[in-house]
Structure 1
Amino acid sequence: MLVTTQAIVLSKLKYRDNDLIVKCYTQQLGVVSFLLRGVLKSKKGGARTAYFQLLSQLQLTLNYKDNRSLQTLTDVKLNHLYSSLHTHVLKSAIVMFLSEVLSSGLREEEENETLFSYIETTLLWLDVQSEYANFHLLFLLNLTKYLGFYPDIKNSDSRYFNLVEGKFQDTPDNRNTITGEDLGLLKQLLGTTFDDLPTVKINGKQRQSFLNMMLLYFELHLGSFKPPRSLQVFNQVFN
């Protein structure tokens, strides 16, 4: 079945000497992986691989078969040319980090057009911004809405947040209950839009603590989720 769909690149991996395996999140098919044969040995292949930078937004045509783990790509076009995401050092660090989060977190995801639209539009927003130090924090928090474990905002005036239950409460009852600065920032971000992010003023230590808390939240709710390998470098860049 020939399928043309919008796609966002999640990862790419060299396979054998000259092949490339690319994983994308697509609008119509969810997560799809495909094999690009021989692209690393030819001059034309080099031009083709340039399309598959992390989080690039593409239009793909696939010869799709349900029983295949690796699909066959028949055509690729660039859907949007970023102005800064792949050329600005700090934004490139965000791209690398979020691509790992999405590649792990969307592993079992099927078609979800609202989730695809969320990722697509927020990346376009980031591409044109000059203030974005807290972008990844709000991105991850809002992502939980589409993955099914967005915090229950009832009782949000409580003194604790239970990461396992995803809800606010008045007493701590396990080691995965947060309070203090992480709780305060969570409450603030729950009422913040991306355009209002510059009003969120926190230091590097607070940013790193909240990010670690969010990654734990993902681990607790997504059995297959693993912390990004780029986390240490990412924290050094943004702290």
Structure 2
Amino acid sequence: MLHKTKGIVISFVKYKETSIIVKIYTEIFGIQTYIENGVRSSKGKNKIALFQPLTLLDLVVYHDSKKEIHRISEIKCLYPYNTITVDIKKSSLGIFVNEVLNNSLKEHAENTPLFNFLEDSLKYLDQHEEQIENFHLYFLINYCFYLGFGPENEDDVVNQLQEHAIPVSSDEKKLLKDLIQQNFGSTLFINKHLRMRLLDLILTYYKIHVEGFGNLRSMGVLKEVLE
């Protein structure tokens, strides 16, 4: 049966000579896997751009709940990025967000609030310039609410970290409070060292709650490009 849905590309791998198998987070089916033929041929070379990670898509898909791999009937770009693909800070943040999603999106079910949050977050990153260096911190704190372990306050995070023998300073605790209470784009007075330390703490909090949430390769890139 055919269904119309929006989607966010998570990853793809090459399959046979000209095809790919792509993982997409869809608005109405959650995380799903699709096979797309011919996109790596000379005729389909322009289409492969639609399957780059974090691309926002409008889709018409075949879906059979008994199958693990589905097919795409129609596809087009929902929102062309203007800055994420050309700005080194934003592209590095995009790589980080994509890796977080790859490690945490597991449900094969509709979750429209989560999809809307991810779509809005990516558009925000593309459209705004102020406080972008803290985007990933706000993203992580907001995202965990949709995954079911959002903290009521900073003490929820601190107590769980301390239970795992992770110390948290008073400055770090205050910054956690600010992140939980503020919205994207709010001014966060933080230096590079504290920003990376705070990121380490939040990712450890994720590891406590998300099974199989491993170390992120993109961390090294963020340390280089974020001031």
TM-score when scaled to structure 2? 0.92
Deviation at 1:20, TM superposition (A): 1.4
Aligned length: 226
CA distance in 2, matches of 1:13, 1:95: 19
Q: Indicate the residue corresponding to 2:212 in structure 1.
A: 224
The 5 Å alignment of 1:1-239 reads 1-43=1-43, 45-108=44-107, 110-131=109-130, 132-153=132-153, 161-163=158-160, 173-176=163-166, 178-196=168-186, 199-239=187-227
- Cα distance 1:233–1:162, how it changes in 2: closer, same or farther (>3 A)? same
SS in 1 for 2:74: strand
- Cα distance 1:161–1:26, how it changes in 2: closer, same or farther (>3 A)? same
User: What amino acid maps onto 1:186 in structure 2?
Assistant: L
Deviation at 1:117, TM superposition (A): 0.6
CA distance in 2, matches of 1:182, 1:108: 32
Deviation at 1:178, TM superposition (A): 2.8
Segments of structure 2 that go 5 or more residues without pairing to the other structure are none
Indicate if the aligned counterparts of 1:160 and 1:177 stay in contact, CA closer than 8 A.
no
RMSD: 1.9
CA distance in 2, matches of 1:81, 1:234: 24
Indicate if the aligned counterparts of 1:162 and 1:177 stay in contact, CA closer than 8 A.
no
Segments of structure 1 that go 5 or more residues without pairing to the other structure are 165-171
- Cα distance 1:137–1:71, how it changes in 2: closer, same or farther (>3 A)? same
TM-score when scaled to structure 1? 0.88
User: What amino acid maps onto 2:25 in structure 1?
Assistant: Y
**Percent of aligned positions that are identical:** 33
The ranges of structure 1 where at least 4 consecutive aligned residues each deviate by more than 3 angstroms after the TM superposition are none
Indicate if the aligned counterparts of 2:135 and 2:185 stay in contact, CA closer than 8 A.
no
- Cα distance 1:134–1:109, how it changes in 2: closer, same or farther (>3 A)? farther
